[in-house]
Structure 1
Amino acid sequence: MSAVVSGTAAKAQKQPQGMRENGKQWHAPRKAFRPGSGLTSFEKRTQSRVAMAAMKAKEKEMKHDKEEDRQRRVQAIKDKRAAKEERERYEKLAEKMHKKRVERLKRKEKRNKLLNS
């Protein structure tokens, strides 16, 4: 008998309440205001904070790795450009001077670079 009563109660609850007073039938029906319903326990809050801190640390690490990769690519491009400029400069010198003299200049400049750096 109680199953029949609970079944009819569920049907009565699911039926529409009728026209809404303000005419906005597309809105969901409002529920009672319960100020304590959204509160969480201290343990849950601490767990969520720990999880958030771990996620932030992982994000930071990933961003750092990504930035390192980017810097490595940028540095490789800069090195390549510098080598190309130097090669072009030596080719220009080779047009005017003898090949052996250009080779001597190269060796001398490399020694100076090693001494200065």
Structure 2
Amino acid sequence: MSEEDVPTPVSTDKPAKPLGMRKNGKQWHLPKKAFRPTAGLTSYEKRTKERVAMVQMKAKEKEMKDEKDELRKQRIQALREKRARKEEKERYEKMAEKMHRKRVERLKRKEKRNKLLNS
């Protein structure tokens, strides 16, 4: 059998009917469809399922957002603590220039005790 013997599938769809010119002259607008007020309505079961899915999605989003915010707060807190340690270290180094090393260590211990008592 050759390719010429095989029948080609013929389309049974009607060709699109040309609509012609619009009366109002606005050919660039698409033709309007029939108004169907009940076309967008859904069943009660479908609406409730969608609501449940939406609530679950919102809860998951909130959880993810809270997790991200917590990580951000932890980073900020770690940065603040690091800066405070650095400042304190610099302050003790400055004191060590003026005073004896042992006196600076005594002051450190004393301040540490006061910090623990006050916090």
Overall identity of the aligned pairs, in %: 71
**Large movers: runs of 4+ above 4 Å:** none
Match of 2:31 in 1: 29
Partner of 1:56: 58
**What is the TM-score when the length of structure 1 is the normalising length?**
0.87
Post-superposition CA distance 1:39-66 (Å, at most 9, x none): 1100110011011001100000000000
Question: How many residues align structurally?
Answer: 110
| Contiguous gaps of at least 5 residues in structure 2 | 1-11
Amino acid in the other structure paired with 1:83: R
| 2-structure distance, mates of 1:81, 1:98 | 25
Structure 1 gaps of 5+ residues are 1-6
The structure with the largest helix share of the pair is 1
Match of 1:68 in 2: 70
Corresponding position: 1:79 with 2:81: yes
* Rounded Cα–Cα distance in structure 1 between residues aligned with 2:113 and 2:77: 23
Superposition RMSD in Å = 1.7
Structure 1 equivalent of residue 96 of structure 2: 94
Q: CA deviation at 1:16?
A: 2.0
Deviation per residue, 1:57-97 (Å, 9 max, x gap): 00000000000000000000000010011001101101110
